[in-house]
Structure 1
């Protein structure tokens, strides 16, 4: 019979020992995973051949196993999908990316990882991943007729989009990912471990952590670690991480919403091999005729296009104020100059963008005044008419309450 051991994790327990403190920092509400993302609702892609019978393990021991995992070599296939419950962007997303490239709407860096990997924030995707220590990683996003690959090898980062025949190149230690499991830029989670580490960082008394049986993931025996908020008001119901019973590597990550329905985030290996990947996986030579964009060129172009505006925006907005803690954390900040953000009714906003804003927004009022709540299944934001913004993985009512208190 699969073990069903549970343990409550709180701030007091986390301070029990140095080892527990190290492990405890990995437990955090996935409210931060807005990033989450991160950050994905996948049709379950992992075949199951029955739950394995494994030795009993406590939640604390399993957390420590994740923290101590030193797996540096692996390769495999990952399926990842996002369902934030927002309307399809249609041509709007392409328009945003073109604007980011400047040059009259022409994208000057079609293989730029920062732009391309944001596509993982919607739909279902198949990825091939490989890692050989902290200096070599490869990530490939597979489509029906094309492939996008991102290769990190030492101080070199290459990206290639076969559809557009575009190449992106960055050189220098500051350009290289420092996490042995991350080929993507910081903040773009592409493996179950990267997602899990966003959800497992610090026990603060707001999280229930249990071991809920076992599973078979990509042919591997795994324990199921389940995190649940102990507070009301979060958009998150639970986070489940399937942890390899042998080496402690997270194999699957699932984030479920408090509103019910399918998962927002479900990402996991469909196949995995812990042998040393072939050295050729981390080498790249630009194909003949490919257009190569150097990172410094793209950076300089962006500075020329909007660097001053970004600096002014940062100066006007200031650092956000954090209201509450744990799963119910809300970030409060002001828009530059305290100006209200454009609404769907504004004639200065393109028609397609107006349609998108109207589909997301709910008009709300309170003692704070009036504003609009823009909603997804994970992250919600209240933008007041006097230029304040409240953002968090919390319900609309929680945002209004925070604005009233502010």
Structure 2
């Protein structure tokens, strides 16, 4: 097998620590749908690694999963390239603004009291396009992630109890502290291969086929190639490929390919990596002279650690026997495994919003969707290459990494 490099394949997949539910339900339409499917469960298929390049001892899928689970790597540094192609229409940058607005964070949605350095809004840029990141970690108390931009850089630093976000373009700083109860900062957006892999490997059941499909080299490291595929029909996920470092068990590259074919939806892989201890100065940060500093009123995001809304989100991801719904703060999930669908009632009729500054927002958004009808009534399905969402005319939302027909079927079943 030819070496896997960050140019040739594509990746996806994250969040573990519970946090308090202080955000509106709208924030979770896309995140929960992605988590509910991309973090779908995995059956332990005892397939052996094929011979390939490099020549490594054969392992079963179960053995490789165990190696990943037992990995104790806490120190590393490197460069990650991440590309995301959801197939969103070109809205001239509006799509990034909409995603930021959903975050509910200070500075999102044009809040003039917010900060350009707020990580909850800044890291949503990773949901589209191609980006280069520098990452470093030294145990659970020190991590750094830097997003390299044209003639600018955004850095997110966790050092002890402090979390700093710095945007060099605007010379703004965002500061928050890690809550004592959790001891860990939170981050909503996956950014490294491990982030994606953790999300995809959260649970285990028989809805998924897992095999070891040969070996590869990533960033100069020997790796096994773990392949995850849904057994269920109706998912937009075709396959997930994770290159696992043969020595440490660390995910080096994560690729998610859609069932519709073509290029990967998400590709995140190291182009350079070292497992040596980073220099202590890597995590030092002092606000630059003249920078605007905003103090967060709740814990900010930080690199290397994810968060769930609560345990119900985790339970809902697996679904419930017979496809029954589980409710979490007004949000429900129906189905199971890769066919999990998140649903909630907006509480208002009329479907899409009809007014916006400068024109008819409903008509504008509706032009990107497909009109559908069923026993539930009528509505609009918005499609990407991974996540689809149905908004009914009576104000209900159904979203998941499933086909349009699966959304309509779920809406009909809810009647």
Change (3 A) 1:73 1:355: farther
CA distance in 2, matches of 1:234, 1:225: 19
Residue of structure 2 equivalent to 1:405: 413
Of the structure 1 ranges 156-165 and 318-327, higher mean CA displacement relative to structure 2 is found in: 318-327
CA distance in 2, matches of 1:253, 1:95: 26
CA distance in 1, matches of 2:407, 2:109: 39
Identify which of 107, 111, 117 aligns with 1:111. Answer: 117
Contact kept, 8 Å, 2:159 with 2:283, in 1: the verdict is yes
CA distance in 2, matches of 1:298, 1:216: 38
Residue of structure 2 equivalent to 1:81: 83
Q: Does residue 210 in structure 1 map to residue 211 in structure 2?
A: yes
Change (3 A) 1:319 1:33: closer
Structure having the higher helix fraction is: 1
User: SS in structure 2 opposite 1:34?
Assistant: helix
Calculate the TM-score normalised by the size of structure 1. 0.78
Query: If you compute each CA radius of gyration, which structure gives the higher value, 1 or 2?
Result: 1
Residue of structure 2 equivalent to 1:34: 34
Structure 1 segment 7-406 matched on structure 2, within 5 A: 34=34, 51-93=53-95, 96=98, 101=107, 106=112, 108-174=114-180, 178=184, 185-296=186-297, 318-335=329-346, 337-343=347-353, 346-348=354-356, 350-351=358-359, 353-354=361-362, 357-406=365-414
Change (3 A) 1:250 1:177: farther
User: SS in structure 2 opposite 1:381?
Assistant: strand
Residue of structure 2 equivalent to 1:16: none
Equivalent residues, number: 344
Shift of 1:135: 0.3
Change (3 A) 1:289 1:36: farther
Contact kept, 8 Å, 2:36 with 2:340, in 1: the verdict is no
CA distance in 2, matches of 1:62, 1:95: 39
Change (3 A) 1:148 1:174: farther
Higher relative contact order (CA 8 A, sep 6+): 2
Contact kept, 8 Å, 2:341 with 2:399, in 1: the verdict is yes
Calculate the TM-score normalised by the size of structure 2. 0.76
Deviations 1:114-152 (A, max 9, x none): 000000000000000000000000000001200000000
Q: Structure 1 stretches of 5 or more lacking a match?
A: 3-30, 40-49, 300-315
User: SS in structure 2 opposite 1:168?
Assistant: strand
Contact kept, 8 Å, 2:178 with 2:299, in 1: the verdict is no
User: SS in structure 1 opposite 2:394?
Assistant: coil
Residue of structure 2 equivalent to 1:27: none
User: SS in structure 2 opposite 1:204?
Assistant: coil
Shift of 1:352: 8.4
Shift of 1:348: 4.2
Contact kept, 8 Å, 1:148 with 1:159, in 2: the verdict is yes
CA distance in 2, matches of 1:287, 1:186: 24
Change (3 A) 1:59 1:286: same
Contact kept, 8 Å, 1:240 with 1:254, in 2: the verdict is yes
Of the structure 1 ranges 270-279 and 379-388, higher mean CA displacement relative to structure 2 is found in: 379-388
Residue of structure 1 equivalent to 2:12: none
Deviations 1:134-186 (A, max 9, x none): 000000000120000000001011111110000111124359872xxxx7x33
CA distance in 2, matches of 1:195, 1:246: 20
Residue of structure 1 equivalent to 2:9: none
Contact kept, 8 Å, 2:120 with 2:187, in 1: the verdict is no
Contact kept, 8 Å, 2:230 with 2:237, in 1: the verdict is yes
CA distance in 2, matches of 1:101, 1:162: 16
User: SS in structure 1 opposite 2:229?
Assistant: strand
User: SS in structure 2 opposite 1:296?
Assistant: coil
Contact kept, 8 Å, 2:227 with 2:242, in 1: the verdict is yes
Q: Structure 2 stretches of 5 or more lacking a match?
A: 3-30, 40-51, 301-326
